[in-house]
Chains A and B, each alone.
Chain A
Amino acid sequence: QKEVEQNSGPLSVPEGAIASLNCTYSDRGSQSFFWYRQYSGKSPELIMSIYSNGDKEDGRFTAQLNKASQYVSLLIRDSQPSDSATYLCAVKNSWGKLQFGAGTQVVVTP
């Protein structure tokens, strides 16, 4: 079992719709959670971090964390073509190591 799992996609989303990305993790002691965006041929860039249960909103992005169920999700509202990218979920486990998922590719169609 991988420590951090994501659906690889591609997730096809019409422009203006909500994209919903999910991530599950195996280490129940994990405390810090991150979402990175990676455009094709580019390096990952941080878009959200979340540390406590519940929702955290930043512009069109909302991260949701449920530690009891061991999942973290990312919602992208009013999706734009510029949101087309691969989204990486990263989890800092109880050993202090940052583990990355393989990423979910999002394609926003006009």
Chain B
Amino acid sequence: DVKVTQSSRYLVKRTGEKVFLECVQDMDHENMFWYRQDPGLGLRLIYFSYDVKMKEKGDIPEGYSVSREKKERFSLILESASTNQTSMYLCASSEPSSGETQYFGPGTRLLVL
């Protein structure tokens, strides 16, 4: 059974703080993704990674960075949190050989005050 876990379910941070969101998958998937989900806008891709130490910008990378030092772990960093980054953040992983089905973590609901 694929399992994707995220470090926190809920986070409250202040404007300007540096925020780390961590995602771990236990299925040895090559691909990992970070999305944010906002009402009416659906899922928007922030960054993705196809391999360790590799990263690619998604549709909305501004204000975010990522790190993938190990295959199972993909971190999303908000360098200086702003109120417009209040959102639900979802991590996903997939394996190219299995049709690219993405498996999602439980999500982190971030509130930036």
Q: Which residues of A contact B (CB under 8 A)?
A: 4, 8, 32, 34, 42-46, 49, 51, 88, 90, 92, 97-98, 100-103
Q: Is the CB of A102 within 8 A of B101?
A: no
Interchain CA distance A34-B43 in the complex, whole Å: 14
B95 to chain A, nearest CB (A): 13
Q: Is the CB of B106 within 8 A of A32?
A: no
Q: Is the CB of A100 within 8 A of B104?
A: no
Asked if B90 is at the interface (CB within 8 A of a chain A CB), the reply is yes
Q: Is the CB of A102 within 8 A of B104?
A: no
Residues of A within 8 Å of B106, CB to CB, are: 42-43
B5 to chain A, nearest CB (A): 11
Q: Is the CB of B43 within 8 A of A32?
A: no
Q: Is the CB of A102 within 8 A of B100?
A: no
Q: Is the CB of A32 within 8 A of B90?
A: no
Residues of B within 8 Å of A45, CB to CB, are: 104
Q: Is the CB of A102 within 8 A of B105?
A: no
Q: List 28 A-B contacts (CB under 8 A).
A: A32-B100, A34-B101, A42-B107, A43-B90, A43-B104, A43-B105, A43-B106, A44-B90, A44-B104, A46-B101, A46-B103, A49-B99, A51-B99, A88-B42, A88-B43, A90-B102, A97-B45, A98-B45, A98-B100, A98-B102, A100-B35, A100-B42, A100-B43, A101-B42, A102-B40, A102-B41, A102-B42, A103-B42
Interchain CA distance A90-B35 in the complex, whole Å: 13
Residues of A within 8 Å of B35, CB to CB, are: 100
Interface string of B26-61 (1 = CB under 8 A from A): 000000000100001111110000000000000000
Interchain CA distance A47-B40 in the complex, whole Å: 21
Residues of B within 8 Å of A100, CB to CB, are: 35, 42-44
Interchain CA distance A98-B103 in the complex, whole Å: 13
Given contacts A32-B99, A44-B104, A45-B104, contact A8 B40 (CB under 8 A): yes
Given contacts A100-B43, A103-B42, contact A92 B100 (CB under 8 A): yes
Interchain CA distance A92-B96 in the complex, whole Å: 12
Interchain CA distance A32-B40 in the complex, whole Å: 23
